[in-house]
Amino acid sequence: MRRLAIASLLLLGCFDWDVLSSTLGEQDLSASGDLSVFDLAQTDLAQPDLAQPDLRMPDLAMPDLMPPTLSFTKQADAAGLGNKKANNAIFGYSAMHITAVGDGGVVARTTNGKDWSIVTLAATTTQNLYDVWFLDDKVGWIVGMGSTAYQWDGSTWVVKAANLTNDVQAVFGSAANKVVAAGSADAVFRFDGTNWTKSTNIAPKPGTQYGMWGTGLTFFSVGASNDTLNITDVTQVRAASDQGGGTVFRSVWGTSATNILAVGYDGNTAIASKSNGVLWTKLNNVPTVGKLYAVWGVSATEIWVGGENGQVMQYNDNTKVWSRFTVSGIPSNEIIKDIWAFDAANVWFVTDTGGIYKKN
């Protein structure tokens, strides 16, 4: 820089050459060396020197800005289950014993957490099966289209559909004698340990109830037309919601009777709502990922959500942050239809094609 400044002043005629030559060494001021036109234009100021590696475009496209990769192992599909698709719901009572159900009366299960096979029901059906739930190894239910219902007695599935009158889309319970199911036209049914009873004190709507979750005292059912129901042993009331009327809730899960999350869609837009047990409040920071169909959590900080295009997200209810992933192992043309987790290390996903996947 010193040489450059001096050279510039010399070119402008600001210094006497004799004065400069008396105070500076001849070698530094050689006209054929440092002050040549070529030296001033090139060398230290050359373009290659300015194009530093850290400033180039490839370095600016940082890998850290990409969503982390989440990998899955496919455990079963229709091809491996005799072309039968367990494509609607999944649930278990341990990390080893999980059951999935699907269209055409399909029931598949694993007893070791990885190998799946088709289950033969005590009385077979060709009706679509929409949901499955277990309390433990002795109590469980499967429900479906055409008033279909099966009760698990610890060794087999037996028909238990008396008094059911609608397509039944969702089932959940908190005890062997406290099970609730819901379905088309806002139909709500309770099982008391012996019989199903249909509720009569709620006006039917055109919408359908798609998801059910609950505690010992209250169950929460969600469905089409922005419909949400709070169900107790004797009553069922509609809970207020600030979502639009076109909202379709597809799935619901919670950590307590005052902290519940539901997901779904309005048109082709993903939606999610939180309930304090009385009022449903819209979440405004849901990523734009298309329709959402499934939610299940391990804890308040690890809630899994799935939907169209093989999309899997995680929601942290403490920080209110959604995390997106680059999904490996689930094709992007499949829809995540249901999720069930035993713990953080054992999380399963079911897709519309009948794929059963476990998170690695």
What single string gives the DSSP state of each residue in 26-57? TTTT-TTTTTSHHHHHSGGG-HHHHS-GGGSH
> Is the per-residue pLDDT at 115 higher than 70?
yes
Q: How confident is the model at residue 205 (pLDDT cuts 50, 70, 90)?
A: low
pLDDT at 114 over 50: yes
Lowest mean pLDDT among 11-15, 49-53, 290-294, 307-311: 11-15
153 pLDDT higher than 50:
yes
Going by pLDDT thresholds of 50, 70 and 90, the confidence category of residue 21 is very low
Can you give the pLDDT at residue 20? 39
pLDDT at 187 over 70: yes
| Phi, then psi, of 82 in degrees rounded to 5 | 70, 35
DSSP state of 246: T
Question: What is the predicted pLDDT for the residue at 204?
Answer: 61
What would the mean pLDDT of 301-327 be, rounded to a whole number? 97
Mean pLDDT for the chain?
A: 86
Banded model confidence at residue 327, pLDDT cuts 50, 70, 90 = very high
Given a contact cutoff of 8 angstroms between Cβ atoms, the answer to whether 214 and 258 are in contact is no
Residue 23: enclosing H or E segment and its boundaries?
Answer: helix 17-23
Q: Look at residue 64 in the predicted model and tell me its pLDDT.
A: 54
Question: Tens digits of per-residue pLDDT, 231-259?
Answer: 998 888 889 999 988 999 999 999 999 99
pLDDT in tens, 86-95: 999 999 999 9
Position 49 pLDDT exceeds 90: no
Return left, alpha or beta for 135; rule: phi > 0 is left, psi -120 to 50 is alpha, else beta.
alpha
Per-residue confidence band for 5, with pLDDT thresholds at 50, 70 and 90: very low
- Its pTM stands at 0.82
Mean of pLDDT values over 307-311: 96
Q: What is the mean pLDDT of residues 303-316?
A: 97
Does 58 score more than 50 pLDDT? no
In this structure, are residues 125 and 114 in contact, taking their beta carbons and an 8 Å threshold?
no
Helix/strand/coil for 10: helix
